Amino acid sequence: MRYLKWKLSEGTWGTGPEAELNSVNKITAGGYVDSDGYRIGYWPDIDTSSMSEWDVTEVSEADALAFAQAIWADVEIDSDGILTHEEPDDPAAE
């Protein structure tokens, strides 16, 4: 699995390279966005050559895990290399 960290241009959803990443690579974007507007995503084979106008960086598995754990403390990487965490209990569902 290869991991990418990218910055949302305006700090909000839809202003980063997600559309291009998804159209080219069908990247899986995790729900992990830090306070600086960076997001972590992953895909087995990522071509970032067309991403030069965006702040897109490949990071190690350990860096991706540390990034996600700063947001969700119980995040793990499963056997397929996917970042996972238990969904928090929804008090409205009770």
Q: List, for residues 5-26, the tens digit of each pLDDT value.
A: 887 666 555 666 766 676 655 6
Confidence band (pLDDT; 50, 70, 90) for 37?
A: confident
Residue ranges in the chain assigned as alpha helix (H): 18-25, 61-71
Say if residues 64 and 25 touch (Cβ distance below 8 Å): no
Segment 62-66 mean pLDDT: 93
The pLDDT of residue 61 is above 90: yes
> Among 17-31, 51-65, 66-80, where is mean pLDDT lowest?
17-31
pLDDT in the model for residue 40: 84
Long-range contacts of 59-65 (CB under 8 A, 24+ apart): 59/3, 59/4, 59/5, 60/3, 61/1, 61/3, 63/3, 63/5, 64/3, 64/5, 64/40
The pLDDT of residue 76 is above 80: yes
Dihedral sign for Cα 86, 87, 93, 94, please.
positive
